[in-house]
Amino acid sequence: MVNDKKRLFFIFRIFISLTLLSGLFWLMRGRLDNLSEILKSVKPGFFFAGLFVNMLVVIWAGLRIRLLFLVHKINFNLEESIRLVLIAQFFNNFLPSTVGGDVVKVYYAKHRSGGMLKPFSAVFIDRLIGMASLVFLASVSLLLRGDLIKNSGIKIAVAAMSVIFLALVLFFSNDTIAGKLAWVFKNIKIFNFTQRLKEIYKAVAVFRQTKQLWWAGLFALCTHISVAVGTYLLALSLSLQVPLFIFFVLMPVIGVLSNLPSLNGLGVREGAFVYVFGGLLKPEMALALSILFLSQLIVISLLGGITYLFTGGLKEGEVAV
């Protein structure tokens, strides 16, 4: 039954991605010739500079997950952590399954922790910090140069993201608020929900008083800054004149939207590029930018596949990273 549900959800994700991609290309059917010419005009220097900056994201992510694992005394050195991030990226993008990158990280780490809960809490906090820093970057950038953003929908989206993640931070940082919410959920008996929530809360609470949390937040911020700068360089490779500050606001919005159910953001991400850059770029320019961004994700994912190929799978009781 569980496998059937996972299979159905995977099919649903494929459907969403294919539907959005088909709709996007149908709407732009009269501009596809322009798109081809735009992609042929890419300046290699800026493209590879963007790839280099986007590769830094892997290093920041490796530093971040390593620190968070160390809180639970799960020891990975930096090289292993970077390999783990690369392999997770490969699983996210290429394997035709419901196994996501976060699940891969938990699976690898459990062999060094003796269980699933501690690795899960570290990966959960990693995702939470990533989202919180993403919202922080977008909010601060919008406050400083909101005049550059003419689309009121973008401003509303950033405000909504800020409220949602502030609520999550309050829940996991304040025992009183968490206790009140636990009382609300106490009658939910499905899947031992209340007990599981308490276990997750206790595992996550360990991070609150650790300096690793603040360092992880700094590395997460570096991650999103690198994504913004890397995408800006891709825009320069297309000879697009868009202020760098714009990318500090728009790329976090695209990042959040890309987490909607789909094949690792495929279709959602491309549509988001066209929408959020509307008013700044012609649709075919925004789509070309999204294709370059996707191409760099694929390159990084292929590096993860090569890493996985040469390091092999897992054996009982050890991690082959």
Give the tens place of pLDDT for each residue, 110-163: 888 777 888 888 888 888 888 888 888 888 888 887 777 777 788 888 888 888
For residue 306, give both structure tokens.
């090569």
Q: What is the mean pLDDT of the chain?
A: 81
Q: Residues 197, 182: contact at Cβ < 8 Å?
A: yes
CA 73, CA 2: separation in Å to the nearest integer?
32
What's phi and psi for 138, nearest 5 deg? -65, -40
DSSP letter, residue 41 = T
In this predicted model, which residue has the larger pLDDT, 228 or 104?
Answer: 228
Tens digits of residue pLDDT in 87-115:
988 888 766 554 577 888 888 888 887 77
What's phi and psi for 317, nearest 5 deg? 85, 0
> What pLDDT score was predicted for residue 266?
80
For residue 298, give both structure tokens.
């694929």
Among the listed residues 60, 52, 53, the one whose alpha carbon sits nearest the alpha carbon of residue 81: 60
**Matching residue, tokens 């690198």:** 226
User: Count of alpha carbons within 13 Å of 297, Cβ hemisphere only?
Assistant: 21
Q: Residues 280, 246: contact at Cβ < 8 Å?
A: yes
User: Count of alpha carbons within 13 Å of 20, Cβ hemisphere only?
Assistant: 24
- What does each C-alpha distance from 182 to 54, 118, 179, 202 come to in angstroms? 40, 21, 5, 12
